[in-house]
Amino acid sequence: MPNEYFNPVRSVYGAGALSSLPELLAGRRALLVTFPEARALGLVGRIEQLLGDRLAGVIDDVRPNPDVAELRALYEAFWRDADAAELIVAVGGGSAIDTAKALMVGTASGRFGDLVAALAAGKAFVPARSKMLIAVPTTAGTGSEVTPWATIWDRERQLKHSLHLKETWPSIALIDPELMLSLPPSVTLQSGLDALSHALESIWNVNANPVSDVFAVAAVHEILVTLPLLMAQPGEIDLRGRMALAALKAGMAFSNTRTALAHSISYEMTLRYGLPHGIACSFPLPMVLERALGRRADRDAVLRQALGGPLDDAPRRLTAFIERLGVKTRFADYGVSDEQADRMVAHALTGARGRNFIGANARETA
């Protein structure tokens, strides 16, 4: 089978890049979807000034981990007044961008329940109508600005849905590291580790290809060097820019492979134990790395490029890296017993993301 790499997102990036927004809108009317702190930070005011009467409305109460219960009213109001905006500008972290991805695909009825029912049944959802998306990340982590993936949570039923359609690719990723200067240390850390997880998960992945590998290796190199420096100097725009680019590269990598076992484990850790996504998908990385090594010679070679040094020592070095940043790497540290952890990992291996892991299936073993 030939290899294939595909990513249709136009990326525009650099400090100050937000001022290109009017040009990128090219006269179209946009709805702004953003996070609650954006108004006090002056970001909503700045966008109102930049867009003037091209701004059709503002949704600024997107909370972390968009949930079906919160999305319903937003979605139905958006599609009731469908002509108000031609596109959505999402300014925020993964939560704001994923909210916009849920909004941008319209059901024929305008009811959100029809979309959720299709996701829950694992049925192909064909939007009756859709809007375009300009994604402006304010965290350096999820890579959602260059992927079609959106995570939609259902806390009440203790599950998460994955929305991904050809319509949910953003048209443009507008990446301005100046917008990341206001991130609190906890979110800088969580989102940075999320990006590391995306890069590594795209390597120990049955869908890896030579182009996704190039993005992943570059992202791992950059994050291992930059994240500790950034935690020490969070106001350094140069470091913010490097992390933003690293998260973008990790996004480019897993836009083609999806994630794997660490993310599969993370969903339960977030739903049942309340861990933020970036911690939930990064604390198991050394354990997953240990399981990945020796499975496939080609994956070992790419992991060696990414992590350097002798590979048998790589899990220890990755543990030390994560723990030096103040994140514990054992299940027991999060109140999960060995028995519960074994069950969780076994279950995660059978999930959609878990099955992407090269160690999930004996046939994948080299």
Verify binding: residue 168, ligand NAD, rule CB under 6 A: no
Indicate the burial class of 54 (C-beta count within 10 angstroms; 0-12, 13-18, 19 or more). middle
Two tokens, residue 92? 């925020």
Q: What are phi and psi of 213, to 5 degrees?
A: -60, -40
71 contact, one of ligand NAD, Fe ion, none, CB 5-8 Å limit per kind: none
Q: Which of 13, 14, 15, 37 binds ligand NAD (CB under 6 A)?
A: 37
- C-beta of 142 vs 319, nearer to ligand NAD: 142
Verify binding: residue 180, ligand NAD, rule CB under 6 A: yes
Verify binding: residue 182, ligand NAD, rule CB under 6 A: yes
Q: Which of 141, 170, 286, 354 binds ligand NAD (CB under 6 A)?
A: 141
Verify binding: residue 167, Fe ion, rule CB under 5 A: no
Q: Which of 147, 188, 202, 329 binds ligand NAD (CB under 6 A)?
A: 147
92 contact, one of Fe ion, ligand NAD, none, CB 5-8 Å limit per kind: ligand NAD
Region binding Fe ion by CB under 5 A among candidate stretches 131-139, 189-197, 222-230, 341-349: 189-197
Verify binding: residue 98, Fe ion, rule CB under 5 A: no
Nearest to 89 by CA among 169, 21, 143, 177: 21
Q: In what order do the strands lie in the sheet with 172-175?
A: 10-13, 172-175, 132-137, 87-92, 30-34, 55-59
Cβ atoms of residues 143 and 215 within 8 Å: no
CA distances from 233 to 195, 237, 249, 278, 327 (A): 19, 9, 22, 20, 18
Verify binding: residue 205, ligand NAD, rule CB under 6 A: no
Smallest gap, in angstroms, from Cβ of residue 366 to ligand NAD? 29
Query: Amino acid letter at 223?
Result: I
Question: To the nearest 10°, the Cα dihedral for 192, 215, 22, 176?
Answer: 30
Q: Which of 194, 201, 222, 268 binds Fe ion (CB under 5 A)?
A: 194
Q: Which residues pair with 57 in a beta bridge?
A: 31
Segment 272 to 301, residues that bind Fe ion, using CB under 5 A: 281
User: Helix 185-203 and helix 210-232: axis angle, to 10°?
Assistant: 160
Binding footprint of ligand NAD on the chain (CB under 6 A): 35-37, 64-65, 92-96, 98, 138-139, 141-144, 147, 149-151, 179-180, 182-183, 187, 190-191, 194, 277-278
Q: Give the footprint of Fe ion on this chain (CB under 5 A).
A: 194, 281
